[in-house]
Amino acid sequence: MRTVVIGGTGHIGTYLVPELVRLRHEVVVLSRGERSPYRSDGAWSRVRMIPVDRDAEDAAGTFGGRVADLEPDVVVDLISFTEDSTRQLAEAVQGRIQHLLHCGTIWIHGPSGRVPTREDTPRRPFGDYGIQKAAIETYLLDRARRDGLPVTLIHPGHISGPGWTPINPAGNLDLGVFEKLARGDELVLPNFGLETVQHVHAADVAGMFLAALRNHSVATGESFHAVAEGAMTLRGYAEGVAGWFGKDARLGFLPWDEWRRTVPERDAAATYDHIAHSPHCSMEKAARLLGFRPRYSALDAALDGVSWLVDNGKIT
């Protein structure tokens, strides 16, 4: 089976591509070629790598044809962020492939209402990223129902793991938050620290894609969450990280309008995006239809990334 993975050297592809090789797929990876996978694996020597600038080819209207011309059985699209880009690919491969798998996001839901949030919960997305991804989902599922497009959507939470910085207990990417917890210094959180984040290990996201491939007949025409079981409050997350460093968390709290003035604007914007969503999504559908359950808890997924940051001198 020939499988084309678009954007296969990033977080998810680092784990997914070697597993596909071990399952005896003939794997072709399309990427900019600007970075290597986060983990070394001998399986990469059996992967055909093709450098491509998707944005430029989308603008020229050639990207979908380029993928179709590779004559894949399966296409895994990890880096489509607009409906137009997705539309070009879907139209080019319609009737020519067995399975199209698209990577979405739990941001399609917007703010959490009833939790845990199921895949069939009415959408209330906000922000360009969530709105675009929700539009992509609507388009692809409509094509599945009207035209039989064999598509599955996988919606990850906050992807974490070795090689990059996980979302921290303040809801942003400031490494200083982890350093405060490591030293036992006071960490001030917005409000009462009761908003939620929901991490997922990149290996578990890759596992969701593999589960969808294994269960093709029930996965097509469906969307699935890819998150760790259960969300973490900012407060609980901070306490878990501090405990991992052998410290008790010393936490303070400020109302949002006061707290945001204590951090750089970029960090405040990231925190607002996360706490305004406060995700807590269900994995029941994936367990019921695909037999998939994530290996990593939300805290363990985040700590695997923190451990890498420590080992590589990113956290003092």
- pLDDT greater than 90 at residue 35: no
- pTM of the full structure: 0.97
What was the pLDDT predicted at 63? 98
Task: Tell me the average pLDDT across 51-68.
Answer: 97
Which tens digits make up the pLDDT trace of 272-308? 999 999 999 999 999 999 999 999 999 999 999 999 9
Which tens digits make up the pLDDT trace of 109-158? 999 989 999 999 999 999 999 999 999 999 999 999 999 999 999 999 99
pLDDT tier for residue 309 given thresholds of 50, 70 and 90: very high
pLDDT tier for residue 18 given thresholds of 50, 70 and 90: very high
The full set of domain ranges for the chain reads 2-159+199-226, 163-197+232-279+297-311
What class has domain 2-159+199-226?
alpha beta
What was the pLDDT predicted at 316? 84
What was the pLDDT predicted at 288? 98
Q: Quick one: three-class SS letters along the chain?
A: CEEEEECCCCHHHHHHHHHHHHCCCEEEEEECCCCCCCCCCHHHHHCEEEECCHHHHHHHCCHHHHHHHCCCCEEEECCCCCHHHHHHHHHHHCCCCCEEEEECCHHHHCCCCCCCECCCCCCCCCCHHHHHHHHHHHHHHHHHHHHCCCEEEEEECEEECCCCCCCCCCCCCCHHHHHHHHHCCEEEEECCCCCEECEEEHHHHHHHHHHHHHCHHHHCCEEEEECCCCCEEHHHHHHHHHHHCCCCCEEEEECHHHHHHHCCHHHHHHHHHHHHHCCCECCHHHHHHHCCCCCCCHHHHHHHHHHHHHHCCCCC
Which tens digits make up the pLDDT trace of 69-91? 999 999 999 999 999 999 999 99
pLDDT tier for residue 228 given thresholds of 50, 70 and 90: very high
What was the pLDDT predicted at 33? 82
- pLDDT greater than 80 at residue 34: no
